Amino acid sequence: MRLDRMPCPDLYEKTPDFQNGFAVLGEGKDGCIISTGFMTHTAMGVSDTLRKKGIDLGVIDVYRLPTNEDDLAEVIKNSGKVITLEEHFLPGGFGSYILEILNDREIALPVKRLGLPFDRGYCYTYGGREKIHEYYGVNPEAVASDIGAYFALGDEELVPVGASSGQLT
pLDDT per position as a tens digit, 51-106: 999 999 999 999 998 899 999 999 999 999 999 999 988 999 999 999 999 999 99
Q: Is 119 part of any domain?
A: yes
Q: Is 111 part of any domain?
A: yes
The percent of residues above 70 in pLDDT, for the chain, comes to 82
Give the pLDDT of residue 156: 47
User: SS3 for 140?
Assistant: helix
Q: Is 79 part of any domain?
A: yes
Higher pLDDT, 117 or 50: 50
- Nearest CA to 22 among 11, 31, 6? 11
Q: Is 95 part of any domain?
A: yes
Residue 111 has pLDDT above 60, yes or no: yes
- Residue 157 · residue 90 · CB < 8 Å: no
* Cα(63)–Cα(30) distance, integer angstroms: 23
Q: Is 7 part of any domain?
A: no
- List 57's β-bridge partners, or say none: 31
Q: Is 93 part of any domain?
A: yes
For the domain that residue 50 is a member of, what is the CATH number? 3.40.50.920
Q: Is 2 part of any domain?
A: no
Give the pLDDT of residue 146: 94
Please provide the average confidence, as pLDDT, over all residues in the chain. Answer: 84
Give the pLDDT of residue 6: 63
Q: Is 15 part of any domain?
A: no
Counted domains in the chain: 1
Half-sphere exposure of 65 (CA within 13 A, CB side): 9
Cα→Cα distances 120→72, 101, 165, Å:
31, 27, 32
Interaxial angle between packed helices 39-51 and 140-152, expressed in degrees from 0 to 180 and rounded to the nearest 10: 50
Domain extent at residue 121: 22-168
